[in-house]
Structure 1
């Protein structure tokens, strides 16, 4: 069976005091599910791992279920394959203006096939003037430059409200670390 590299992004884990998960426990959980080469990035609720090629939503469901059963934490999990993450990284049109990668966000969309209505709403947000920040839409992610900080960004707040549970966001520095881990051999 063909092996595939995956990236799991856990929504709302280790943000503030809620949904605390030790990365060692998360890595063990993925290993117990039969995945290998399991690595985490910081204390961020992000994993890179390898395993048999199967639909990402199936992998996400396995991890979500195990999180509740083994760790007592309910969290949505968004799973990408390494190629999807590479496309998100390559498709960021805001890199020229974003000097601080910790203030550049990617809202990863849960599905590459957003409904026309959802895409229209996102395009409307992209068309607004967010100076000094900016918003852009790619195939699988919406990008937000927050030069005055993420918490102060009206654009990030509007995008989060518009997308709700259909997304999880990561700062650019974290995405680049995940991308680097994916680049290693299978």
Structure 2
């Protein structure tokens, strides 16, 4: 049975869309997923599913949360190979020594034409970024909380994204033993 990673968007942020991970894991197990494991409170879930459609899995997860918790989160689903490829393609490997400064923005699809000029105007002189397939990499050594690029990249790309810092990405890979 394939193993998948679900990255939930906008849960447990600022007291909104509260979703304890223990409750989420139980809810997902009830829907038929197996070996459900969570990592930290921001909605990172590893599980097994017999489905081979990421779109169907994402819908199943959103439906289950909506039914049980009365809000519908966005969910981005990745295979272990996709997570491994994202790590392998990281153009800022030297930034992993300070992993909270390196963020992976996972996109649902590849954007048509990213607006390079608008993106570069948002970036600080200390920030580096690159879009590779469905991952936007951002190295923000001054902190992602102070980055206009971090807060505006989804709008610029025009595609739903969900970001995770390198600590989280590496931990998920370790949990999968893929990278």
Same-fold call, TM cutoff 0.5: yes
Q: How does 1:138-149 map to 2 (within 5 A)?
A: 138-149=132-143
Which residue pairs with 1:116 in the alignment? 112
Unaligned runs of 5+ in 2: none
Contact 2:119 2:156 in 1 (8 A): no
How far did 1:174 drift?
0.6
1:127-138 residue pairs with structure 2 within 5 A?
Answer: 130-138=124-132
Conserved? CA contact 2:140–2:147, under 8 Å: yes
Query: 1:16 & 1:49 partners in 2: Cα distance?
Result: 26
- RMSD value, Cα: 2.1
Give the 5 Å matches for 1:78-157. 78-97=76-95, 99-111=97-109, 114-117=110-113, 120-121=114-115, 125=119, 130-157=124-151
Using the TM superposition, name which of 141-150 and 151-160 deviates more: 151-160
Pick aligned residue for 1:37 from 16, 35, 43: 35
1:48-73 deviations in Å (ceiling 9; x for gaps): 01121420010000000110101222
Q: What SS is found at the alignment partner of 2:52?
A: coil
- Residues 122 and 137, structure 1, Cα contact 8 Å, conserved in 2: no
CA distance in 2, matches of 1:164, 1:177: 28
Q: Which residue of 2 aligns with 1:69?
A: 67
The question of whether the paired residues in 1 share the 8 Å contact of 2:111 and 2:157 is answered with no
Give the alignment's TM-score, normalised by structure 1.
Answer: 0.87
Q: Give, in angstroms, the shift of residue 92 of structure 1.
A: 0.7
Q: From the superposition, tell whether residues 97 and 178 of structure 1 become closer, same or farther in structure 2 (CA, over 3 Å).
A: closer
Does residue 180 of structure 1 match 2:178?
no
Name the structure 2 match of 1:54: 52
Q: How many positions carry a matched residue from both structures? A: 178
Instruction: Describe the SS at the equivalent of 1:25.
Output: helix
